[in-house]
Amino acid sequence: MKIRIFNADDHPILRKGVTDLLKETDDLEWVGCAADGIEAIEKIRSLQPDVAILDIEMPHYTGLEVAQMLIGEGIKTRFILLTLFKEESFFRNAMRTGVRGYLLKESSEKEILDCIRSVNEGKPYVNPSLTHYLISEEPDDNILVNLTNHEVNILKLIARQKTTVEIANMLFISPKTVSNHRGNIGKKLNLSGEQNGLLKWAIENRDLLR
């Protein structure tokens, strides 16, 4: 059975280039494309492709926002982002959202096709020049394993910007106990003694605490 593919990009030439590649590949079935985020959301909802390749920068909604919205709705489509951005922050945000593939626009046709096939099988695929991010991502994803359930619950409340006293009242423990927990959590997360360091970490990593 052919893999049903959708693509979206606001640059006509780039959109046509990916479309032509998809049409010319035997095991793929191109089902449609879009030029902006709104059109992409509407068409993906309607077409329910197996895989959608989205440009990160598009009018109305970015590719990441489109993926985040549709993943939140429980759609079965798997998403690949095609981007110029090599920054680790963009990569991390995409992976935490549930995007399965991350490709640079300089990717070869083979890399794009390899990515599609891998993502369709449920396997993540990252542009080869960015694979080192997977290594640096691993500790962040697993670091919560070092925390007890109680500590994770406290961290969730910190992410909601609850004060020590508020957390103590909510969990029926003393503020001193909360402070001790905060200190232990900070050590386990390898945080420095920076003022409000734990609060900043919790807010920045809220997705890990869902």
CB 195 within 8 A of CB 201: no
Of the ranges 2-6, 69-73, 140-144, 180-184, which is most confident? 2-6
The reported pTM is 0.63
pLDDT at 139: 42
DSSP string for the chain: -PEEEEEE-SSHHHHHHHHHHHHH-TTEEEEEEESSHHHHHHHHHHH--SEEEEESS-SSS-HHHHHHHHHHTT---EEEEEES---HHHHHHHHHHT--EEEETT--HHHHHHHHHHHHTT--EE-GGGTHHHHHHHHHHHGGGGS-HHHHHHHHHHHTT--HHHHHHHHTS-HHHHHHHHHHHHHHTT--S-TTHHHHHHHHTGGGG-
Convert the pLDDT of each residue in 12-65 to its tens digit: 999 999 999 999 999 999 999 999 999 999 999 999 999 999 998 899 999 989
Superfamily of domain 3-137 in the CATH hierarchy: Response regulator (3.40.50.2300)
pLDDT at 142: 56
- Greater confidence (100 vs 135) lies with 100
pLDDT at 158: 92
Query: Rounded CA gap, 69 and 118, in Å?
Result: 22
Extents of the domains making up the chain: 3-137, 147-209
Report the pLDDT averaged over residues 139-167: 80
pLDDT at 129: 73
Confidence of residue 73 (pLDDT cuts 50, 70, 90): confident
Topology adopted by domain 147-209: Arc Repressor Mutant, subunit A (1.10.10)
Question: Is the pLDDT score of 124 beyond 60?
Answer: yes
Convert the pLDDT of each residue in 1-24 to its tens digit: 899 999 999 999 999 999 999 999
Question: Is the pLDDT score of 136 beyond 70?
Answer: no
What percentage of the chain exceeds 90 in pLDDT? 48
Structure tokens at 162: 């609850």
